[in-house]
Structure 1
């Protein structure tokens, strides 16, 4: 039985802190730069996720499609932040999202977090310039049968 993508509104990071998700996934570049968008918010609120990112090799193209994971412990809450390497760089114009990498990231998420609740923003469709309809179909295919939800940001 496939569970199609469900959408909720709110603050992904706060929802994770509130116990809504066992894991949250966001798209990263391979340059160890978490300087804009939700990546910056994650870096500021969950420095463990940034530490997991900078523990990888900066500028390594072979990171594309892989993940690094940080366990977050806050008071009585535990969850994971998954840094998904969905783009090589962040600079310049045009599309930086890599659909193949997004697919590989979601395969890795399913392999590591099957049976858990997973939340994510519009990975690859914001600053990375990817087409959300294409990305959403990739996520739905790769996370079929999992409890996953898109969180559209509302403060």
Structure 2
């Protein structure tokens, strides 16, 4: 896992990544954190989220996706359903869903440059030590980068 500081969206727009992944809940909100920024910058990604069934637990471990053209670069945005809801305190990240998401990403996007934030460890309250081990094991051999938001 590469580890950099910066802005995931800006890096993607500058051509650093072919695929960006961000964690979502299963209720089509994209109302906080990086999801809100993605909703603003890539409304097509939000539209892909809205085309899924709101509140369905079946979405856990899956993702909706859209590929957009920005300048001379195509970016695929993955809305990864890594938590069921967003309400309340405590851990909302679903480690099994994260495993499934990244296993599917490895299969579908092998050889692509993949960027992601601290998925599941921010607002979802998950343990980054556990999550990073999951991602590293599922994306072994791939070019993938954690982008820690630069304040």
Which TM-score band applies after superposition, normalised by the shorter structure?
over 0.9
Tell me, in whole angstroms, the C-alpha distance in 2 between the residues paired with 1:13 and 1:19: 10
> Following TM superposition, by how much is the alpha carbon of 1:76 offset from its aligned partner in structure 2, in angstroms?
1.2
CA contact (8 A) 1:67 1:108 kept: no
Deviations 1:29-54 (A, max 9, x none): 00001000000000000001101100
* Counterpart mapping for 1:41-56 below 5 A: 41-56=37-52
Tell me, in whole angstroms, the C-alpha distance in 2 between the residues paired with 1:53 and 1:128: 18
**Match 1:32 to one of 21, 24, 28:** 28
Q: 5+ unaligned residues in a row in structure 1: which ranges?
A: none
Count of matched residue pairs: 151
The ranges of structure 1 where at least 4 consecutive aligned residues each deviate by more than 2 angstroms after the TM superposition are none
> Following TM superposition, by how much is the alpha carbon of 1:64 offset from its aligned partner in structure 2, in angstroms?
0.3
Cα root mean square deviation, aligned? 0.7
Is 1:20 aligned with 2:12? no
Per the alignment, residue 93 of structure 1 pairs with 89
Per the alignment, residue 120 of structure 1 pairs with 116
> Following TM superposition, by how much is the alpha carbon of 1:127 offset from its aligned partner in structure 2, in angstroms?
0.2
Tell me, in whole angstroms, the C-alpha distance in 1 between the residues paired with 2:149 and 2:66: 22
Q: 5+ unaligned residues in a row in structure 2: which ranges?
A: none
What is the TM-score when the length of structure 1 is the normalising length?
Answer: 0.96
What is the TM-score when the length of structure 2 is the normalising length?
Answer: 0.98
Per the alignment, residue 146 of structure 1 pairs with 142
